[in-house]
Amino acid sequence: MFKIQMPHLNKRLITLAFGEISVHHCGDAMIKDKGICSSANEFFLPPINAALQLEILMTAIMGERHCVLITGGAGYIGSHLALLLQKQGYRVVIVDDLSTGNTWAAPESSSLIVTDILDSPALVATMREYQVKTVIHLAAKSCVAESIIKPDDYFETNVKGTQSVVGACAKAGVRQLLFSSTAAVYGNGTHGLVKEDAPLKPISPYGQSKVEAEKVVANSCARYGIRYVTFRFFNVIGAHPEGIVGQYSPDSEHLLQKCLDSARKNSALNIFGYDYDTADGTPERDFIHVQDLASLHLHAMRHLDYGGESLLLNAGYGNCYSALTFIKAFQKLTNTVFPVGYVLRRDGDPASLIADISMLGEKLDWIPEYASIEQMIGSSWAWENSLVRRALK
Protein backbone atom coordinates (compact mmCIF):
# COMPACT_ATOMS: atom_id res chain seq x y z
CA MET A 1 0.00 0.00 0.00
CA PHE A 2 0.94 3.64 -0.59
CA LYS A 3 0.30 6.32 1.96
CA ILE A 4 -0.02 10.04 1.21
CA GLN A 5 -0.88 12.96 3.43
CA MET A 6 -4.23 14.56 2.59
CA PRO A 7 -4.90 17.73 4.58
CA HIS A 8 -8.27 18.23 2.84
CA LEU A 9 -9.96 14.92 2.04
CA ASN A 10 -12.34 15.35 -0.90
CA LYS A 11 -14.88 12.57 -1.41
CA ARG A 12 -15.50 13.53 -5.05
CA LEU A 13 -11.81 13.18 -5.92
CA ILE A 14 -11.60 9.87 -4.07
CA THR A 15 -14.65 8.65 -6.01
CA LEU A 16 -13.07 9.69 -9.32
CA ALA A 17 -9.87 7.82 -8.45
CA PHE A 18 -11.37 4.70 -6.87
CA GLY A 19 -14.98 4.48 -8.00
CA GLU A 20 -17.95 4.55 -5.68
CA ILE A 21 -16.83 3.88 -2.10
CA SER A 22 -18.59 4.06 1.21
CA VAL A 23 -17.35 6.27 4.03
CA HIS A 24 -17.83 5.45 7.71
CA HIS A 25 -16.72 7.62 10.60
CA CYS A 26 -15.41 5.78 13.70
CA GLY A 27 -14.08 8.41 16.03
CA ASP A 28 -10.99 9.86 14.36
CA ALA A 29 -10.74 6.99 11.89
CA MET A 30 -12.39 6.79 8.46
CA ILE A 31 -12.84 3.29 7.04
CA LYS A 32 -13.42 2.70 3.32
CA ASP A 33 -14.17 -0.49 1.44
CA LYS A 34 -11.25 0.15 -0.93
CA GLY A 35 -8.80 1.74 1.51
CA ILE A 36 -8.41 2.90 5.08
CA CYS A 37 -7.93 6.34 6.55
CA SER A 38 -6.25 5.93 9.91
CA SER A 39 -6.98 9.60 10.49
CA ALA A 40 -8.53 12.47 8.57
CA ASN A 41 -5.10 13.28 7.13
CA GLU A 42 -3.90 9.84 6.00
CA PHE A 43 -5.20 7.66 3.22
CA PHE A 44 -3.85 4.22 2.30
CA LEU A 45 -4.06 3.33 -1.39
CA PRO A 46 -4.69 -0.29 -2.29
CA PRO A 47 -2.19 -1.85 -4.73
CA ILE A 48 -4.70 -2.20 -7.61
CA ASN A 49 -4.10 0.64 -10.10
CA ALA A 50 -2.14 2.36 -7.35
CA ALA A 51 0.17 4.25 -9.72
CA LEU A 52 -2.70 5.87 -11.64
CA GLN A 53 -4.64 6.57 -8.46
CA LEU A 54 -1.62 8.12 -6.85
CA GLU A 55 -1.02 10.38 -9.86
CA ILE A 56 -4.63 11.56 -9.84
CA LEU A 57 -4.64 12.24 -6.13
CA MET A 58 -1.24 13.94 -6.13
CA THR A 59 -2.28 16.17 -9.02
CA ALA A 60 -5.74 17.03 -7.72
CA ILE A 61 -5.09 17.26 -4.01
CA MET A 62 -1.43 17.99 -3.43
CA GLY A 63 -1.41 20.80 -5.99
CA GLU A 64 1.07 19.44 -8.52
CA ARG A 65 0.09 20.64 -11.98
CA HIS A 66 1.13 19.63 -15.46
CA CYS A 67 1.96 21.67 -18.58
CA VAL A 68 -0.83 23.04 -20.76
CA LEU A 69 -0.35 24.37 -24.30
CA ILE A 70 -2.81 27.00 -25.50
CA THR A 71 -3.03 27.82 -29.20
CA GLY A 72 -4.15 31.42 -29.59
CA GLY A 73 -3.13 32.03 -25.99
CA ALA A 74 -2.11 35.64 -26.67
CA GLY A 75 -5.64 36.50 -27.78
CA TYR A 76 -8.69 37.69 -25.88
CA ILE A 77 -9.97 34.38 -24.49
CA GLY A 78 -6.59 32.69 -24.40
CA SER A 79 -4.96 35.37 -22.24
CA HIS A 80 -7.67 35.08 -19.59
CA LEU A 81 -7.37 31.31 -19.62
CA ALA A 82 -3.57 31.44 -19.37
CA LEU A 83 -3.77 33.71 -16.31
CA LEU A 84 -6.30 31.45 -14.60
CA LEU A 85 -4.29 28.29 -15.26
CA GLN A 86 -1.12 29.88 -13.94
CA LYS A 87 -2.97 31.01 -10.83
CA GLN A 88 -4.00 27.38 -10.33
CA GLY A 89 -0.38 26.26 -10.57
CA TYR A 90 -0.22 24.94 -14.13
CA ARG A 91 2.74 25.55 -16.41
CA VAL A 92 1.52 27.34 -19.54
CA VAL A 93 2.95 27.35 -23.06
CA ILE A 94 1.34 29.68 -25.60
CA VAL A 95 1.47 29.11 -29.35
CA ASP A 96 0.32 32.16 -31.31
CA ASP A 97 1.18 33.69 -34.67
CA LEU A 98 0.22 37.13 -33.27
CA SER A 99 -2.00 37.89 -36.27
CA THR A 100 -4.68 38.98 -33.80
CA GLY A 101 -2.97 38.18 -30.49
CA ASN A 102 -0.63 40.48 -28.60
CA THR A 103 2.61 39.81 -26.76
CA TRP A 104 1.50 42.00 -23.84
CA ALA A 105 -1.52 39.76 -23.31
CA ALA A 106 0.59 36.65 -22.68
CA PRO A 107 1.45 36.27 -18.97
CA GLU A 108 5.12 37.05 -18.33
CA SER A 109 5.79 33.69 -16.70
CA SER A 110 4.33 31.74 -19.64
CA SER A 111 6.40 30.51 -22.59
CA LEU A 112 5.36 32.23 -25.83
CA ILE A 113 6.15 30.38 -29.06
CA VAL A 114 5.44 32.51 -32.13
CA THR A 115 4.48 30.12 -34.90
CA ASP A 116 1.57 29.10 -37.12
CA ILE A 117 -0.68 26.22 -36.10
CA LEU A 118 -0.24 24.87 -39.65
CA ASP A 119 3.42 24.25 -38.81
CA SER A 120 2.87 20.76 -37.40
CA PRO A 121 6.58 19.92 -36.89
CA ALA A 122 6.99 23.04 -34.74
CA LEU A 123 3.94 22.06 -32.71
CA VAL A 124 5.25 18.54 -32.15
CA ALA A 125 8.67 19.84 -31.10
CA THR A 126 7.08 22.31 -28.65
CA MET A 127 4.79 19.68 -27.12
CA ARG A 128 7.71 17.32 -26.61
CA GLU A 129 10.10 19.96 -25.29
CA TYR A 130 7.68 21.18 -22.63
CA GLN A 131 6.18 17.74 -21.90
CA VAL A 132 2.68 18.99 -22.59
CA LYS A 133 -0.16 16.89 -21.20
CA THR A 134 -3.17 18.92 -22.37
CA VAL A 135 -3.65 21.09 -25.45
CA ILE A 136 -6.34 23.80 -25.54
CA HIS A 137 -6.96 24.72 -29.16
CA LEU A 138 -8.40 28.25 -29.34
CA ALA A 139 -6.57 29.64 -32.38
CA ALA A 140 -8.99 30.37 -35.22
CA LYS A 141 -10.42 32.98 -37.53
CA SER A 142 -13.76 34.04 -36.09
CA CYS A 143 -15.26 37.02 -37.91
CA VAL A 144 -18.53 36.09 -39.63
CA ALA A 145 -18.49 39.04 -42.04
CA GLU A 146 -14.89 38.44 -43.09
CA SER A 147 -15.56 34.74 -43.63
CA ILE A 148 -18.11 35.58 -46.32
CA ILE A 149 -15.45 37.58 -48.18
CA LYS A 150 -12.57 35.17 -47.54
CA PRO A 151 -14.06 31.69 -47.09
CA ASP A 152 -10.91 29.85 -48.20
CA ASP A 153 -8.86 31.55 -45.48
CA TYR A 154 -11.31 30.30 -42.87
CA PHE A 155 -11.16 26.70 -44.04
CA GLU A 156 -7.36 26.89 -44.21
CA THR A 157 -7.00 28.10 -40.62
CA ASN A 158 -10.00 26.54 -38.91
CA VAL A 159 -10.13 23.14 -40.59
CA LYS A 160 -6.58 22.44 -41.76
CA GLY A 161 -5.21 24.18 -38.69
CA THR A 162 -7.24 21.88 -36.45
CA GLN A 163 -6.00 18.85 -38.41
CA SER A 164 -2.46 20.07 -37.79
CA VAL A 165 -3.00 20.52 -34.04
CA VAL A 166 -4.67 17.14 -33.52
CA GLY A 167 -2.05 15.42 -35.66
CA ALA A 168 0.72 17.03 -33.62
CA CYS A 169 -0.95 15.85 -30.40
CA ALA A 170 -0.95 12.30 -31.72
CA LYS A 171 2.75 12.41 -32.69
CA ALA A 172 3.82 14.06 -29.43
CA GLY A 173 1.83 11.68 -27.23
CA VAL A 174 -0.65 14.27 -25.96
CA ARG A 175 -3.88 12.52 -25.06
CA GLN A 176 -6.08 15.38 -23.83
CA LEU A 177 -7.57 18.15 -25.97
CA LEU A 178 -9.99 21.01 -25.39
CA PHE A 179 -11.37 22.50 -28.60
CA SER A 180 -13.22 25.77 -29.10
CA SER A 181 -16.09 25.64 -31.55
CA THR A 182 -18.96 28.08 -31.87
CA ALA A 183 -22.72 28.46 -31.64
CA ALA A 184 -22.52 29.62 -35.27
CA VAL A 185 -22.65 25.93 -36.25
CA TYR A 186 -26.39 25.98 -35.45
CA GLY A 187 -27.22 28.80 -37.85
CA ASN A 188 -30.92 29.28 -38.36
CA GLY A 189 -31.65 25.60 -37.84
CA THR A 190 -33.24 26.35 -34.49
CA HIS A 191 -34.81 29.19 -32.54
CA GLY A 192 -34.43 29.94 -28.84
CA LEU A 193 -32.88 27.28 -26.61
CA VAL A 194 -30.64 24.97 -28.60
CA LYS A 195 -29.30 21.59 -27.49
CA GLU A 196 -26.06 20.03 -28.64
CA ASP A 197 -27.92 17.47 -30.77
CA ALA A 198 -29.83 20.15 -32.72
CA PRO A 199 -29.42 20.17 -36.52
CA LEU A 200 -26.31 21.97 -37.70
CA LYS A 201 -27.25 24.49 -40.38
CA PRO A 202 -24.53 27.15 -40.43
CA ILE A 203 -25.25 30.18 -42.59
CA SER A 204 -21.69 31.51 -42.83
CA PRO A 205 -18.37 30.06 -43.99
CA TYR A 206 -17.12 30.63 -40.44
CA GLY A 207 -19.85 28.43 -39.01
CA GLN A 208 -19.33 25.79 -41.70
CA SER A 209 -15.58 25.73 -41.07
CA LYS A 210 -16.22 25.00 -37.41
CA VAL A 211 -18.63 22.18 -38.30
CA GLU A 212 -15.85 20.59 -40.32
CA ALA A 213 -13.31 21.24 -37.56
CA GLU A 214 -15.58 19.51 -35.03
CA LYS A 215 -15.63 16.45 -37.30
CA VAL A 216 -11.84 16.51 -37.46
CA VAL A 217 -11.63 16.55 -33.67
CA ALA A 218 -14.19 13.77 -33.16
CA ASN A 219 -12.85 11.45 -35.86
CA SER A 220 -9.14 12.03 -35.38
CA CYS A 221 -9.28 11.88 -31.59
CA ALA A 222 -11.13 8.57 -31.78
CA ARG A 223 -8.47 7.25 -34.15
CA TYR A 224 -5.53 8.38 -32.01
CA GLY A 225 -6.99 7.64 -28.59
CA ILE A 226 -7.23 11.29 -27.55
CA ARG A 227 -9.97 12.26 -25.12
CA TYR A 228 -11.44 15.69 -25.75
CA VAL A 229 -14.02 18.29 -24.76
CA THR A 230 -15.43 20.48 -27.51
CA PHE A 231 -17.14 23.68 -26.41
CA ARG A 232 -19.53 25.58 -28.62
CA PHE A 233 -18.94 29.15 -27.48
CA PHE A 234 -21.85 31.51 -27.46
CA ASN A 235 -21.11 35.27 -27.24
CA VAL A 236 -18.03 35.88 -25.11
CA ILE A 237 -17.73 39.30 -23.45
CA GLY A 238 -16.31 40.88 -20.32
CA ALA A 239 -12.78 41.41 -19.03
CA HIS A 240 -10.53 40.26 -16.23
CA PRO A 241 -12.04 41.36 -12.88
CA GLU A 242 -8.71 42.94 -11.85
CA GLY A 243 -8.33 44.82 -15.15
CA ILE A 244 -5.20 42.88 -16.15
CA VAL A 245 -6.40 41.95 -19.64
CA GLY A 246 -9.47 42.41 -21.79
CA GLN A 247 -10.73 42.70 -25.34
CA TYR A 248 -8.42 44.63 -27.64
CA SER A 249 -9.48 44.27 -31.26
CA PRO A 250 -9.87 47.58 -33.09
CA ASP A 251 -11.84 45.88 -35.87
CA SER A 252 -14.03 43.72 -33.61
CA GLU A 253 -17.63 43.17 -34.72
CA HIS A 254 -18.81 42.22 -31.22
CA LEU A 255 -21.78 44.24 -29.94
CA LEU A 256 -20.08 45.14 -26.68
CA GLN A 257 -17.03 46.48 -28.47
CA LYS A 258 -19.31 48.54 -30.71
CA CYS A 259 -20.94 50.00 -27.59
CA LEU A 260 -17.55 50.84 -26.09
CA ASP A 261 -16.44 52.52 -29.31
CA SER A 262 -19.64 54.55 -29.61
CA ALA A 263 -19.44 55.65 -25.97
CA ARG A 264 -15.81 56.70 -26.37
CA LYS A 265 -16.30 58.55 -29.67
CA ASN A 266 -19.92 59.64 -29.12
CA SER A 267 -20.75 58.07 -32.47
CA ALA A 268 -23.87 56.30 -33.69
CA LEU A 269 -24.27 52.55 -33.23
CA ASN A 270 -26.28 50.72 -35.88
CA ILE A 271 -28.10 47.49 -35.12
CA PHE A 272 -28.07 44.95 -37.95
CA GLY A 273 -31.72 44.07 -38.45
CA TYR A 274 -34.95 45.27 -36.92
CA ASP A 275 -37.46 42.75 -38.30
CA TYR A 276 -36.34 39.47 -36.73
CA ASP A 277 -38.86 37.13 -35.13
CA THR A 278 -37.95 38.31 -31.63
CA ALA A 279 -39.66 40.39 -28.95
CA ASP A 280 -38.30 43.75 -30.18
CA GLY A 281 -37.27 42.76 -33.70
CA THR A 282 -33.53 42.79 -32.98
CA PRO A 283 -31.38 39.63 -32.78
CA GLU A 284 -31.11 37.80 -29.46
CA ARG A 285 -27.88 36.39 -28.06
CA ASP A 286 -26.69 34.36 -25.10
CA PHE A 287 -23.64 36.06 -23.57
CA ILE A 288 -20.98 34.46 -21.35
CA HIS A 289 -18.30 36.26 -19.35
CA VAL A 290 -14.78 35.45 -20.52
CA GLN A 291 -13.67 34.70 -16.96
CA ASP A 292 -16.44 32.12 -16.55
CA LEU A 293 -15.48 30.61 -19.91
CA ALA A 294 -11.89 30.29 -18.68
CA SER A 295 -13.14 28.62 -15.50
CA LEU A 296 -15.23 26.25 -17.60
CA HIS A 297 -12.09 25.12 -19.43
CA LEU A 298 -10.38 24.46 -16.12
CA HIS A 299 -13.25 22.22 -15.04
CA ALA A 300 -13.24 20.42 -18.39
CA MET A 301 -9.51 19.79 -18.14
CA ARG A 302 -9.90 18.33 -14.68
CA HIS A 303 -12.71 16.17 -16.02
CA LEU A 304 -10.22 14.71 -18.51
CA ASP A 305 -7.48 14.51 -15.87
CA TYR A 306 -9.69 12.22 -13.83
CA GLY A 307 -10.34 9.92 -16.78
CA GLY A 308 -13.60 11.49 -17.95
CA GLU A 309 -15.20 10.72 -21.30
CA SER A 310 -15.06 12.93 -24.39
CA LEU A 311 -17.78 15.58 -24.43
CA LEU A 312 -19.48 18.09 -26.74
CA LEU A 313 -21.01 20.95 -24.75
CA ASN A 314 -22.62 24.35 -25.20
CA ALA A 315 -20.81 27.16 -23.41
CA GLY A 316 -23.28 29.85 -22.41
CA TYR A 317 -25.62 30.78 -19.56
CA GLY A 318 -28.94 29.67 -21.04
CA ASN A 319 -30.49 33.14 -21.17
CA CYS A 320 -30.37 35.99 -23.65
CA TYR A 321 -30.54 39.70 -24.34
CA SER A 322 -31.69 41.30 -27.55
CA ALA A 323 -29.28 43.73 -29.20
CA LEU A 324 -31.50 46.68 -28.29
CA THR A 325 -31.93 45.55 -24.67
CA PHE A 326 -28.19 45.07 -24.34
CA ILE A 327 -27.42 48.55 -25.67
CA LYS A 328 -29.90 50.16 -23.29
CA ALA A 329 -28.38 48.24 -20.37
CA PHE A 330 -24.91 49.37 -21.43
CA GLN A 331 -25.94 53.03 -21.56
CA LYS A 332 -27.59 52.81 -18.15
CA LEU A 333 -24.70 51.01 -16.43
CA THR A 334 -22.01 53.27 -17.92
CA ASN A 335 -24.03 56.49 -17.78
CA THR A 336 -23.36 57.15 -21.45
CA VAL A 337 -25.55 58.35 -24.30
CA PHE A 338 -25.02 57.81 -28.02
CA PRO A 339 -27.36 57.58 -31.01
CA VAL A 340 -28.75 54.15 -31.93
CA GLY A 341 -29.98 53.37 -35.44
CA TYR A 342 -30.98 50.42 -37.58
CA VAL A 343 -29.60 49.02 -40.82
CA LEU A 344 -30.43 45.97 -42.89
CA ARG A 345 -29.67 42.51 -41.59
CA ARG A 346 -26.11 41.29 -41.88
CA ASP A 347 -25.49 38.09 -43.86
CA GLY A 348 -24.78 35.14 -41.59
CA ASP A 349 -26.59 36.42 -38.48
CA PRO A 350 -29.30 34.14 -37.00
CA ALA A 351 -32.34 35.61 -35.26
CA SER A 352 -31.90 33.97 -31.87
CA LEU A 353 -29.30 31.69 -30.29
CA ILE A 354 -29.58 30.62 -26.65
CA ALA A 355 -27.60 27.77 -25.13
CA ASP A 356 -29.39 24.84 -23.56
CA ILE A 357 -26.89 24.08 -20.78
CA SER A 358 -28.60 21.08 -19.19
CA MET A 359 -25.85 18.79 -20.50
CA LEU A 360 -23.18 21.16 -19.20
CA GLY A 361 -24.70 21.07 -15.73
CA GLU A 362 -24.93 17.29 -15.83
CA LYS A 363 -21.38 16.60 -16.97
CA LEU A 364 -19.24 19.28 -15.29
CA ASP A 365 -19.24 20.53 -11.73
CA TRP A 366 -19.19 24.20 -12.74
CA ILE A 367 -20.90 27.24 -11.27
CA PRO A 368 -20.52 30.63 -13.05
CA GLU A 369 -19.37 33.61 -10.99
CA TYR A 370 -19.86 36.50 -13.42
CA ALA A 371 -23.24 35.80 -15.03
CA SER A 372 -24.99 39.12 -14.41
CA ILE A 373 -25.13 41.71 -17.14
CA GLU A 374 -23.76 44.22 -14.63
CA GLN A 375 -20.60 42.12 -14.25
CA MET A 376 -20.25 41.47 -17.97
CA ILE A 377 -20.60 45.11 -19.00
CA GLY A 378 -19.02 46.54 -15.86
CA SER A 379 -15.77 44.59 -16.17
CA SER A 380 -15.43 45.61 -19.82
CA TRP A 381 -16.09 49.26 -19.00
CA ALA A 382 -13.48 49.11 -16.23
CA TRP A 383 -10.97 47.56 -18.65
CA GLU A 384 -11.73 50.16 -21.30
CA ASN A 385 -10.91 52.90 -18.82
CA SER A 386 -7.95 51.20 -17.14
CA LEU A 387 -4.36 52.45 -17.35
CA VAL A 388 -3.35 49.26 -19.14
CA ARG A 389 -5.96 49.68 -21.85
CA ARG A 390 -5.32 53.41 -22.23
CA ALA A 391 -1.62 52.73 -22.79
CA LEU A 392 -2.56 50.65 -25.86
CA LYS A 393 -4.28 53.52 -27.69
How confident is the chain (393 residues) per 10-residue block, as mean pLDDT?
34 46 36 37 42 49 76 97 96 97 94 98 98 98 93 98 98 98 86 90 95 98 98 96 88 88 93 94 96 98 96 97 97 96 87 93 94 96 82 69
Q: What does the alpha-carbon distance between residue 47 and residue 50 come to, in Å, rounded to a whole number?
A: 5
Among residues 206, 228, 321, 370, which one is catalytic? 206
Q: Specify the pLDDT at position 32.
A: 36
327-366: pLDDT as tens digits = 999 999 999 999 999 999 987 788 888 999 999 999 998 9
Q: Specify the pLDDT at position 355.
A: 96
Q: Specify the pLDDT at position 192.
A: 72
What are the start-end ranges of the H helices in the chain?
Answer: 11-18, 50-61, 76-87, 120-129, 144-149, 151-155, 161-172, 205-224, 255-265, 290-305, 323-334, 358-363, 373-384, 387-391
CA distances from 352 to 183, 192, 210, 284, 316 (A): 11, 6, 19, 5, 13
Q: Specify the pLDDT at position 191.
A: 67
Question: Could you tell me which of 122, 162, 131, 161 has the C-alpha nearest to residue 68?
Answer: 131
Q: Specify the pLDDT at position 253.
A: 79
Rounded to 5 degrees, φ, ψ at 392 are -85, -10
Global pTM value: 0.83
The yes-or-no answer on residue 206 being catalytic is: yes
| Residues contacting residue 361 through CB under 8 Å, at least 6 positions apart | none
